Amino acid sequence: MNVITTDELLQKIDAGENISIIDVRESDEVATGIVPGAKHIALGQVEASMDQLDKSVPHYIICKAGGRSAMACEILEENGYNVTNVAGGMMSWEGELQF
């Protein structure tokens, strides 16, 4: 499984790279702030929502600390998606938040 730090992800965002960020936390957690531009798909909905994701774009998967995003990465990887787990998750995120 590919892994990236929150600092590395922030650099990609700042560089304007065409990436997709998927936040797999629950709705109440996302209400406290999400990475700007991220799409919210709770972990339990990942399999049912895969058809909404473009297989030609790299997806960076984030949660609170990295555990649930790792599970989501496994599901998506098994289905042919290019995914990277964001280590440390939102607990390590030092960039702006969208509410």
Rounded distance between C-alpha atoms, residue 54 and residue 58, angstroms: 8
Say which DSSP state 38 is in.
P
- Of the residues 24, 63, 86, 90, which is catalytic? 63
CA angle 81, 53, 58 (to 5 degrees): 50
63 classed as catalytic: yes
Residues identified as active-site: 63
